[in-house]
Amino acid sequence: MKTTVGRISETPPPPGPFRPGFWRSPIRGPWLTSVFGLVLLVGIPVLFVTGALSYAAYNPDLGPLNDQTPDKGLLGFYLFDWPTHPYWLYRLTQGIHVTLGVVLVPVLLAKLWSVIPKLFEWLPVRSLAHGLERLSLLLLVGGAIFEFVTGIFNIQLFYIFPGSFYTLHFYGAWVFIAAFSVHVCLKLGRMTRALRSRNLLTELRTDVAHTRPEPPDPDGLVPAAPAAPTMSRRGAVGLVGAGSLALLVVTVGQSIGGRLRSTALLAPHNRNPGSGSNGFQINKTAASVSVTPALVGPAWRLEVHGRGPALVFTRGQLLAMPRHAAALPIACVEGWSTEDQHWNGLRLADLAALAGLSHAGSVLVESVQPPGPYSSAMLRGNQIHDPRALLALRVNGADLSLDHGYPARIIVPANPGVNNTKWVHRLTFRT
């Protein structure tokens, strides 16, 4: 047994990337890897937390209408009643989630580039510990790229992934974060030592001509036969930073809105689909979800259910009731949002009182939209009773357009966009 192990460990590496002389970049080394690692150590937890908050924002515990991952089990352990204060909360958390994800792409690429020799280390498995750790690294790298790719595709409506985005991105995040946590536990010490091994200011003053490889490291990141440098470590960090900055500039405007929206040169929601009162961003047009003008014509009625017989209103009757105003944004899970729009309509709290349930604990909101994802949604008591939560009839001084939910739509502070149901035709209040 001993001799077999001995013989295997003496097996020379096959030619190519397994040989120590193959990887020659003189700037690869623990310090550079740790700089990128440190950025991800801060950035990834922010992505995970804002992602987890987004899940909570859908109020998944109100039932399957709000929950795309009903078999979550313990993974929903942290869920809480999503608040309506501050009203821009979801706009902020989801804007950060998506923009930060996009901005971290070059850092992730650089981190993976910096450790690529480890993929080809020889022997591939030296011990049980080593084998298990490498399996965990597959989950880490696969998980990271899987999460970034599904997220980036989803915000461009490029739905080629195998299944529901919510399911893949949510469970994928847990697989990824499990591997990420173990990686942090095992490498945190090495990262701090590597960061302390060189002075940041000195590195930032070192040009290409004075760039020397780091001293040999046990992980074999530093090349055995370094090539002459063509870029300093300062240059590499700067290049990655420039990449992040470029992505930030062409993306963030879609989450800030106003005059900055048009600066998001390459982002999906970088210009308004129209002008005037209803010219702001649309998540799904009426046509795209088969809502026709006929469905919301003169025959349209709003049904309000609660205690006692159902109440039925025409749009004219609703307009004649006491109306209230609220300035609230639309904020989408895709990270884009609008600046505050001036909505006008009936308070959900008033409608609950009309239905005889002034202390309603939830309301089922149903749309005329043919059944599909988010054609109906549940709202919680705190959302019903916020005075800014409306069944909106008008926006920015005009009637709602068909694409914005005419004849009536929900608008609730800090609510994810898809839960602000459009083309509402039935409200069912429950205790």
Partner 1 sequence: MTRLARLARWYGANPLHLLVLICSFAVTAYAGVRLFATRPLEVAIWFVGAAILHDLILLPLYSLADLSARSVLRHRGDAVPAVPLINYLRVPAFLSGLLLLVWFPLAFQLSSPYPGATGLSYDIYLGRWLIITAVLFGAFALALALKLRRIHRAARANEEKSPPGNGGKP
By C-beta, is 139 or 224 nearer to partner 1?
139
Rounded to the nearest whole angstrom, what is the least distance from the CB of residue 8 to partner 1 in the complex?
14
Q: Find the part of the chain contacting partner 1 (CB under 8 A) among 4-12, 127-135, 252-260, 367-375.
A: 127-135
Total site size for partner 1, rule CB under 8 A: 78
By C-beta, is 127 or 317 nearer to partner 1?
127
Q: Where are the alpha helices (DSSP H) in 250-311?
A: 253-256
Q: Considering the rule CB under 8 A, would residue 96 count as an interface residue with partner 1?
A: no
Rounded to the nearest whole angstrom, what is the least distance from the CB of residue 41 to partner 1 in the complex?
16
Rounded to the nearest whole angstrom, what is the least distance from the CB of residue 254 to partner 1 in the complex?
11
Between residue 254 and residue 283, which ones bind partner 1 under the rule CB under 8 A? 265-269, 271, 273-274, 281-283
Q: Considering the rule CB under 8 A, would residue 105 count as an interface residue with partner 1?
A: yes
By C-beta, is 73 or 371 nearer to partner 1?
73
What is the C-alpha separation between 76 and 96, in angstroms, rounded? 21
Taking the C-alpha atoms of 412, 264, 103 and 24 in order, what is their torsion angle to the nearest 10 degrees? 160
395 contacts: CB under 8 Å, gap ≥ 6 = 277, 278, 341, 342, 343, 344, 404
Between residue 222 and residue 251, which ones bind partner 1 under the rule CB under 8 A? 230-231, 235, 239, 242-243, 246-247, 250
Between residue 132 and residue 151, which ones bind partner 1 under the rule CB under 8 A? 132-133, 136, 138-139, 141-143, 145-146, 149
Binding mask 157-196 for partner 1 (x = CB under 8 A): xxx-xxx---xx--xx-xx-xxx-xx--xx----------
Q: Nearest-CA neighbor of 330 among 381, 286, 392?
A: 392
Binding mask 286-315 for partner 1 (x = CB under 8 A): -xx---------------------------
Q: Considering the rule CB under 8 A, would residue 129 count as an interface residue with partner 1?
A: yes
Q: Where are the alpha helices (DSSP H) in 303-428?
A: 315-320, 348-354, 381-385
Rounded to the nearest whole angstrom, what is the least distance from the CB of residue 388 to partner 1 in the complex?
26
What is the C-alpha separation between 31 and 194, in angstroms, rounded? 5
Rounded to the nearest whole angstrom, what is the least distance from the CB of residue 390 to partner 1 in the complex?
23
By C-beta, is 70 or 215 nearer to partner 1?
70
By C-beta, is 49 or 75 nearer to partner 1?
75
Q: Considering the rule CB under 8 A, would residue 127 count as an interface residue with partner 1?
A: yes
By C-beta, is 128 or 299 nearer to partner 1?
128
Rounded to the nearest whole angstrom, what is the least distance from the CB of residue 417 to partner 1 in the complex?
12
Between residue 203 and residue 222, which ones bind partner 1 under the rule CB under 8 A? 208
What is the C-alpha separation between 218 and 29, in angstroms, rounded? 10
Q: In Å, how far are 154, 318, 334 from 302, measured between CA atoms?
A: 33, 9, 30
137 contacts: CB under 8 Å, gap ≥ 6 = 118, 179, 183
Instruction: Output Rg (C-alpha) for the chain, integer angstroms.
Output: 27
Answer whether 429's CB lies under 8 Å from 306's CB. Answer: yes
Between residue 4 and residue 63, which ones bind partner 1 under the rule CB under 8 A? none
Q: Considering the rule CB under 8 A, would residue 398 count as an interface residue with partner 1?
A: no
Rounded to the nearest whole angstrom, what is the least distance from the CB of residue 171 to partner 1 in the complex?
4
125 contacts: CB under 8 Å, gap ≥ 6 = 131, 134
By C-beta, is 112 or 311 nearer to partner 1?
112
Coil, strand, or helix at residue 263? helix
How far the first Cα of the chain sits from its last, in Å, is: 71
Coil, strand, or helix at residue 298? coil
228: its two tokens = 């002459």
Buried b (16+ CB within 10 A) or exposed e, 79-90: beebbbeebbbb
Q: Find the part of the chain contacting partner 1 (CB under 8 A) among 120-128, 217-225, 339-347, 410-418.
A: 120-128
- Looking at this protein, which amino acid is placed at residue 142? G
